Amino acid sequence: MRPSVVVPVFLLFVCSRVIITESKLQQQATIDITEEDDEDDDYDDDYSKPEIDDDGRIYKNPRNSPSAMCPRDESQAKLLGQKCLRKCSSDEDCKSTKKKCRCDGICGMTCVKPEKVCPQLPEISHGIMETTGNFFSNEVHYKCDPNYFLVGLADRTCRGDGTWSGSTPACKKDTNSFCTDPPKVLNAKNSAPPEQSTFDIESTVQYFCDHGYETMTPFQEAKCLMMDRKVSWFGPDITCSPKNCGSPPEIPNGWHT
């Protein structure tokens, strides 16, 4: 074969290899983007970094800006067992194109999938369950039959982390079969939902001191128990006192009062 023929054939072979390689890279990139786009747990807690999203843009409304209409309280969300996802102030703050900036209850404005599905809930005895669906922000409302008392939360909401708020309530006929509001402790909060006023026997509530306060007592729990045919809360044994910061440090060539 003449040299003039060998060169074009060699170039054709090289070009075909380049095209195949680029095609594979594009397919892999598409897979990577799809997997990242499907990622639910995209909450980051490094708030010291500038408000720059994946594309490098700095947005006019930083996602750290608090919302007056839908405030975020991560400490209370943790007490209630809700996992807060990435905070936001607009859809542009969400990494995934499948997510939108929506109010997610106590987690505030959050990047969530509007089509997020919560599991089906069981029916309750001596009552009915009315629901608007099991997608994000859908609600369930419970009602008891006549002469029965609802013990637990009457309403539950499908949250951005794919779980329902609260727990399944029960309908009780005997008023001595459940506890009412748990004890209040000065300078402390508890894990009971603020809107819940009735609690089943064996229910437990955890107590935590407010920021800047501490306790040295070991029993930080209240439990609904029946003793001598009477239902009541037992505990907590907790006192929250201001933290002692100690004496301020000395400074060179100066003093403090």
The pLDDT value given to residue 64: 56
Instruction: Judge whether 215 lies within some domain.
Output: yes
**Chosen domain end from 131, 156, 173:** 173
Pair 139, 103 in one domain: no
Percent of the chain at pLDDT > 70 equals 74
The pLDDT value given to residue 70: 86
The pLDDT value given to residue 41: 46
Pair 163, 134 in one domain: yes
Q: What is the CATH number of the domain that holds 132?
A: 2.10.70.10
Q: Which residue has the higher pLDDT, 74 or 26?
A: 74
d(CA 211, CA 95): 32
d(CA 110, CA 74): 12
Neighbours of 195 (CB within 10 A): 10
Nearest to 203 by CA among 195, 219, 192: 192
The pLDDT value given to residue 62: 52
The pLDDT value given to residue 96: 85
**Chosen domain end from 173, 194, 215:** 173
The pLDDT value given to residue 14: 44
Instruction: Judge whether 5 lies within some domain.
Output: no
Instruction: Judge whether 57 lies within some domain.
Output: no
Pair 184, 238 in one domain: yes
130-186 confidence digits (pLDDT tens): 999 999 999 999 999 999 999 999 999 999 989 998 889 999 999 889 999 999 999
Instruction: Judge whether 6 lies within some domain.
Output: no
Pair 215, 181 in one domain: yes
Instruction: Judge whether 21 lies within some domain.
Output: no
The pLDDT value given to residue 247: 83
Pair 81, 120 in one domain: no
The pLDDT value given to residue 65: 60
Mean pLDDT of 232-253: 89
Query: At residue 30, does pLDDT exceed 70?
Result: no
Instruction: Judge whether 219 lies within some domain.
Output: yes
- Per the structure, the complete domain to which residue 150 belongs is given by 114-173
Percent of the chain at pLDDT > 90 equals 44
Pair 132, 188 in one domain: no
**Chosen domain end from 126, 156, 173:** 173
Instruction: Judge whether 10 lies within some domain.
Output: no
Instruction: Judge whether 206 lies within some domain.
Output: yes
The pLDDT value given to residue 66: 60
Pair 192, 242 in one domain: yes
Query: At residue 45, does pLDDT exceed 60?
Result: no
- Prediction pTM value: 0.63
Lowest mean pLDDT segment, chosen from 26-35, 100-109, 205-214, 244-253: 26-35
d(CA 117, CA 256): 59
Pair 138, 124 in one domain: yes
Q: What mean pLDDT is reported for the chain?
A: 79
Pair 139, 190 in one domain: no
Nearest to 62 by CA among 54, 75, 53, 71: 53
Counted domains in the chain: 3
